[in-house]
A and B are shown apart, each in its own frame.
Chain A
Amino acid sequence: MIFAEMFSYAFLTRALAVGVLVSLCSALLGVSLVLKRYSMIGDGLSHVGFGALAVAVAFNLAPLAVAVPVVVLSAFLLLRISRSSAVKGDAAIAMISSGALAVGVIVISLTTGMNTDVSNYMFGSILALSTADARLSAALSVCVLALFVLFYPRIFAVTFDETFAKATGTRADLYNTLIAVLTAVTVVIGMRMMGALLISALIIFPPLSAMRTCRTFRSVTICSAAVSVVCFVAGMAASYAWELPTGPAVVVVNMLAFGVFSLIGMTKHK
C-alpha cells in the first residue's frame, strides 16, 4: 500500500534505489571495518565529505565530482597516518574529521550562510539526489559490490589475520587500501541522503546486529547485508508515513534491529 504510493513519486523511487544499493555496500564493507576496529573511519570520511561538498557548492562545482576524489584521497591519508604511528589511528581520524567539519562550516557561512542547506548536509535529505546523481551513485555502488564479491576470499584473510596474509604473499596493504577506497566512495554517495553525521550508522549497525546471532564470516556478511537493506526500506517507509527525516528514521530502525538481534543472540547463546 504505502510502497505503491511511494513509488508514484519519481524522486522517492530514485532515492529508494540508491539507498538500497548504498545500504548493501556499507553493510558489506562494515563487516570488515568493524572487525578490524576501524568503525570510526566511516564517520571521519563523512565529515571530510561534508567539507568537500560545502566547498563544491561554494564554487558551483558538481558535488560528487569534487567529493569522491577528495574523500578517496583522505582515505589513503588516514591509512597512511594510522600506520606511521606518529598519530594513532583513532586520533588521526578524530583530527581529520573535526578539521574537515570546521572548514566546511566556515566555507558555508562565508558563502550561502547557515541555512537549510547545511542542515541537509548534516542530516541528509532525499530531495538532494538529482537524476544524474542517482545514476552515478548506482553505478559506483555496483562497482563497490562487484569488487567486494570478487575479492571476498582475500578480504576475509586480510580481515582475520593480516600478518598471516602478508606472510603467505597476499598484498594486505593493497586490500586495506581497497577497503578504504570503497568505503570512501560509499560514504560520499550515502551521505547526501543519510547526512554526514548519520552515514556511519549504516556502516556499523548492520554488522554489529549480524554478529549478535551469526557465527561465521559468510553468514555475518549475508545477514548484515539483509538487515541493512530491510532497515533502510523500513526507515524510508516510516519517514514517508509519519513525515520523519529519512536519515534519522533509518538509523532508529537500525537501532531497533540491533536491540532485537541482541535479544535473539542472548537467548540463543546463553
Chain B
Amino acid sequence: MAILKCENVSFAYDGENVLEGVDFELNAGDYLCVVGENGSGKSTLIKGLLGLKAPRGGKITMGGGLKPTEIGYLPQQTELQKDFPASVREVVMSGRLNSLGTRLFFSAEDKKAAAANMERMGIDDIADKCYQELSGGQQQRVLLARAMCATKKLLLLDEPVTGLDPVAQNEMYNLIKLINLCDGITVIMVSHDIHEAVRYATHILHLGNRQLFFGTAADYRQSDPARRFLGGDRT
C-alpha cells in the first residue's frame, strides 16, 4: 500500500520553479534515498513533504493513516543548537509534542516512549547529560530518538551523517537500516554520499531541479544519471 505519493509535484520560490516533475510512490517499509547536487531541490522537497511549503502544482498524498504531522523528522543541525543548554532527555521528549493534542504536559506514557527510544538508540546512559557536550555521533542519535518519538510510520532524515567521522557514519547508517528493517518504518533520507545511498536504500530519487531518476537502487546503478554521478567526485 502506498504510504506516500507525489504526482507531478512542483515547487517555486518567487514564481520561479526550483523543482518540477516529481512523480513517485513509496510503499510502507521502503527506504528511499534522495540524491542530487547542492541546490537541486532536495531541501525544498523535504519542506514540501513536511507541509512547511505548499507545492505550486501537483499533489502530495499520504496513505496508510499517515498524517503530515506524524513524520519523524531529523533536520540538519543549526548554529543555534551548538550552545543550547538542554539534556538529552529534554530533547527526546520534545519529539512527543505531536501526541500532546490539547494536553499541556507530558504524561507517563510520553515519558515511557521517550525512555524506550533512548534505550534503542543506546543513549539511555547519557539521558541526563547536556546535549551540547556530546560528540557529533551521539547528538545525531539523540535527534534520531526524538524523530522516532514523533512517528510510527515514516522517518525523514536530512543528511543525517554530515560532519560525522567514518565510524559514527557507519553506526548511523546501520541504525537507520535496522529501524527500517525491524520496525518496518519507511525511511526517506537526503544524502550527499551516493555510494552509501546505493548500498543501503531500496529506492533512489535523483533530483536536479527536476526528477532525473526514480526507481530501485539496482536499476539506478545502470542508469545514465547514476553513471555520471557515481563516477564523479564525492562531495
Residue numbers of A with Cβ under 8 A of B are: 35-37, 150-154, 156-157, 160-161, 163-170, 211, 214-220
Question: Known: A153-B94, A215-B130. Contact between A167 and B50, CB under 8 A?
Answer: yes
CB pair B73–A164 under 8 Å, yes or no, is yes
- The contact of B98 among A36, A156, A170, A211, by CB within 8 Å, is A170
Residues of B in contact with A, size category: 35 or more
Q: Closest residue to B151 on the A side, CB-wise?
A: A168
A167 to B71, CA, bound (A): 8
CB pair B104–A153 under 8 Å, yes or no, is yes
Q: Closest residue to A154 on the B side, CB-wise?
A: B97
Q: Closest residue to B85 on the A side, CB-wise?
A: A220
Question: Which residues on the A side are within 8 Å of B98 (C-beta)?
Answer: 168-170
Residue numbers of B with Cβ under 8 A of A are: 50-52, 67-71, 73, 75, 78, 80-81, 84-87, 90-91, 93-95, 97-98, 100, 104-106, 128-130, 132-133, 146, 150
A72 CB, min distance to chain B CBs, angstroms: 23
- The contact of B84 among A35, A150, A153, A219, by CB within 8 Å, is A35
- The contact of A164 among B75, B85, B87, B93, by CB within 8 Å, is B75
- The contact of A160 among B51, B81, B100, by CB within 8 Å, is B81
Question: Which residues on the B side are within 8 Å of A169 (C-beta)?
Answer: 67-69, 97-98
Q: Closest residue to A216 on the B side, CB-wise?
A: B87
Subset of 19 A-B contacts with CB under 8 Å: A35-B85, A153-B105, A157-B94, A157-B97, A160-B81, A160-B86, A160-B90, A164-B95, A167-B50, A168-B70, A168-B95, A168-B150, A211-B85, A215-B87, A215-B129, A215-B133, A216-B87, A217-B87, A220-B85
A168 to B73, CA, bound (A): 8
- The contact of B78 among A152, A161, A211, A220, by CB within 8 Å, is A161
B30 CB, min distance to chain A CBs, angstroms: 20
A169 to B99, CA, bound (A): 10
Question: Which residues on the A side are within 8 Å of B90 (C-beta)?
Answer: 156, 160, 216-218
CB pair B73–A214 under 8 Å, yes or no, is no
Q: Lowest 10 CB-CB distances: which A-B pairs, in order?
A: A169-B69, A215-B130, A216-B87, A168-B98, A167-B50, A157-B94, A167-B73, A217-B86, A220-B85, A168-B150
CB pair A36–B97 under 8 Å, yes or no, is no
B78 CB, min distance to chain A CBs, angstroms: 7
Q: Closest residue to A157 on the B side, CB-wise?
A: B94
Question: Which residues on the B side are within 8 Å of A165 (C-beta)?
Answer: 94, 97
Given contacts A216-B85, A220-B85, 10 further A-B contacts (CB under 8 A): A154-B97, A156-B90, A157-B94, A160-B91, A164-B146, A167-B52, A168-B97, A168-B98, A169-B97, A214-B85
A156 to B92, CA, bound (A): 12
Task: Kindly name the residue among A154, A156, A215, A219 whose own CB sees the greatest number of chain B CB atoms within 10 A.
Answer: A215
CB pair B97–A153 under 8 Å, yes or no, is yes
